[in-house]
Amino acid sequence: MGLLTDPGAGRGKLTHLLVKYHGKLCLLLYLAGLVWFGLLAHEHFNAGTYFSENALLPGLVKGEFDEDGMAKKYLAELVEEANRFPDGIPYSWLLAKFGQLSLDTYTHNFTLNSPLGQGKKYVGKNVYAILRAPRSSSTEALVLSVPYRPLSSIQPTTFPSIALMLSLGKFFRRQKYWAKDIIFLVTEHEQLGIQAWLEAYHRATCGRKGVLEHGDMMGRGGAIQAAINLELHSDRLAHLDVKVEGLNGQLPNLDLVNLVHRMCSKEAIKHTFKNRENPNYRDPYQEWLHSFKTLMSMVATQATGIPNGNHGLFHRFGIEAVTLEGFEKKGRGGPIMFYQMGRVLEGLFRSLNNLLERFHQSYFFYLLPATDRYISIGMYMPPLGLLCGGLLIKGLALWLKMQEDPVNQTVTKGEKKSKGENKQKSNNKESLSPGDFKAAKKGVAEQESRLNLVLVGSTLLTVHALGVILLAAPQYFSQWGTLLMGLNTDASIYWSYFFSSVILLGAPFITARNISCSAEACSLLNIVALLELATLLLAVSMHNFSLAMLCATLYVPAALWIGPSWKGPIRFLQKIWWLLLHPLSLLTVVVIGFTAVTFPEDSPKKMLSRGLEASYQALMYSVVDSYIYGNWVYSVAVAILLPAWMLFWIVLHSTVDSQKHT
């Protein structure tokens, strides 16, 4: 406590340099962090992938799959059966086919109580079959899943995936080396079906209680170790894309990803990540640019927190999973047939069957600039640390400046009284006379009285309480918009949040007016805002680095520029910039920009209309994902990021003498 209250403490040259040049230092750290992150895409700053678990290697031996003819037959029968049920799953046909393979066959029913639909309910049914391991007592299991998409679905078909699954079931049934149960799962309603099945399998509820009724399960296998989600859109494929991003940015163990790519290379199958092949340029710049685009594509997908396949919902249960998506072959060249795909899946399951324990080696936190290169957490975390370091340094500089003012004022008065004496250093407590030292202590006491910690604390508590209230508001917003204005659900939620945000823009004026009476209180509020933003970014990066990195890139420069001392046109520019960084504004701008890139042929008016509708849906889906799946991106944005944004907004509307504060 003595260091905090001693007016002469910390008056060295380093302190003065930090206070004087902290702005340039923060800018340097920000630029260094961006440059460091950009360089990670270069091969000299990342590493080649390798196997950490040797138990996965047996699957790389010669494959024996030979049921490709049956896969074609199953596909023809499934297409014919699907025409009879264009809007649903042909349950009877699937149950019959699994039963013919002598597998334990079950169905699983689930119900969704729409959290924003005023009592609407949706029902679904999954079909799954279990191949019991002949060499163990069903203690462990592997999953091969396929989302069923009826003919009425707007998404590409997955009929070839189901046909290949049935042929694999027939082939696997003949083998005697299985030490783990193999579960063949066909789900309805995409990710909703897989979420309900996983909750029922583990007897757990991940989202809000009462929203998704996962139902009961008649049959179970062992503890699931790994899962492969299959999405083949044709029986003649051009390439196989490997998807890894899961819920809330979780990733599968890197050994599983490496195994998939190695198996594809063994069978001479063209495999990609983010639908991009490995760079093969002679120009080092072009090679780096290609890898950097692949890296940023992964960052953009992971930052949303939304799984890009059914595999992404397995990760929260400690199950490593990936999605293999195959695209139809068009044009010349040899296609990928059922034969090659069957051998790839055979090798994957043989390798996974050989595991003696759960995945624990290799990396769970990584970024991929190519299919055979990776960036470990030890390489990509320092850039974010540099970006957040600027926030911490500015906060420290503001605190030192607050402590420095009383001493500087006292020394200045003392120097005016003794012009002929030697110049005294303001950073040395021993250079002050006893009278000046007492005056400095008195100045510190007066400064502490002006801090008004109650006002700063109440402001901090109020903005966070408003964030919690808005977090619980979507259900009420949906009802009010529908009953009072006749809007649909997504538009009701969006415009309710919009008008709430407009109201909150005016609320800080009352607080800011009170804080403006005390320069120290305003500086303290600025320090708290800087520390909270830095803490938020670092905490989020522990789970979803991509989201934290993108937010830091956008928010850090604006937060470093904001201060209570600016006036005139600069203050106006700060307000405009900060308004664009409001979470709702940022969502709208990003979605409209993505719409403009996706539909460049639209007129500006139509593009704006399409972008707004997409913004409505993006906000609504983020709320629904939070209720059903436990996606916390919406919760963090409303309950933590929005209050932090409001703290800076209050600082922007505080008037402080620029001669006393930087």
Q: What is the pLDDT confidence band of residue 423, given thresholds at 50, 70 and 90?
A: very low
Mean predicted confidence (pLDDT) in 190-212? 91
Task: Of 527, 469, 494, 468, give the one whose Cα is nearest residue 650.
Answer: 527
Give the tens place of pLDDT for each residue, 614-648. 999 999 999 999 999 989 999 999 999 999 999 99
| 339-341-345 Cα angle (round to 5) | 120
E-strand stretches of 206-278: 212-213, 223-232, 237-243, 271-273
Give the model's pLDDT for residue 117. 66
Give the model's pLDDT for residue 581. 94
Task: Of 662, 643, 395, give the one whose Cα is nearest residue 534.
Answer: 395
Classify the phi-psi angles of 354: left when phi > 0, otherwise alpha if psi is within -120 to 50, otherwise beta: alpha
Give the tens place of pLDDT for each residue, 66-106. 888 999 999 999 999 998 888 889 999 999 999 999 999 99
Q: What is the pLDDT confidence band of residue 5, given thresholds at 50, 70 and 90?
A: very low
Give the model's pLDDT for residue 476. 85
Give the model's pLDDT for residue 101. 93
Does 427 have pLDDT greater than 60?
no
Task: Of 279, 384, 381, 281, give the one whose Cα is nearest residue 34.
Answer: 384
Average model confidence (pLDDT) for the chain?
85
Q: Decide which of 117 and 174 is more confident.
A: 174
Give the model's pLDDT for residue 331. 79
Q: What is the pLDDT confidence band of residue 4, given thresholds at 50, 70 and 90?
A: very low
Instruction: Return the percentage of the chain with pLDDT > 70, whole number.
Output: 87
Does 519 have pLDDT greater than 60?
yes
Q: What is the pLDDT confidence band of residue 518, given thresholds at 50, 70 and 90?
A: low
Q: What is the pLDDT confidence band of residue 509, given thresholds at 50, 70 and 90?
A: low
Give the model's pLDDT for residue 417. 44
Give the tens place of pLDDT for each residue, 110-149. 999 888 866 788 899 999 999 998 877 778 999 999 999 9
Mean predicted confidence (pLDDT) in 267-291? 89
Lowest-confidence pick of 203-217, 401-415, 528-542: 401-415
Residue type, 139: T
Give the model's pLDDT for residue 555. 95
| 255-300-390 Cα angle (round to 5) | 100
Q: What CA–CA distance (Å, rounded) separates 40 from 33? A: 11
Write out the residue limits of the CATH 3.40.630.10 domain(s) in the chain: 65-278+305-358
Give the model's pLDDT for residue 343. 93
DSSP state of 422: P
Does 556 have pLDDT greater than 70?
yes
Give the model's pLDDT for residue 512. 53
Does 432 have pLDDT greater than 80?
no
What stretch of H or E contains 335? none
Q: How many residues does the chain have?
A: 662
Q: What is the pLDDT confidence band of residue 434, given thresholds at 50, 70 and 90?
A: low
Give the tens place of pLDDT for each residue, 580-607. 999 999 999 999 988 888 888 878 888 8
Q: What CA–CA distance (Å, rounded) separates 141 from 316? A: 17
Does 654 have pLDDT greater than 50?
yes
Three-state DSSP string of 10-21: CCCHHHHHHHHH
DSSP 596-658: HHH-TTS-HHHHHHHHHHHHHHHHHHHHHHHHHT---HHHHIIIIIHHHHHHHHHHHT----T
Lowest-confidence pick of 9-13, 212-216, 286-290, 496-500: 9-13
Q: What CA–CA distance (Å, rounded) separates 157 from 152? A: 10
Candidates 3.10.450.30, 3.40.630.10, 2.60.40.60, 3.30.390.50; CATH matching 65-278+305-358: 3.40.630.10
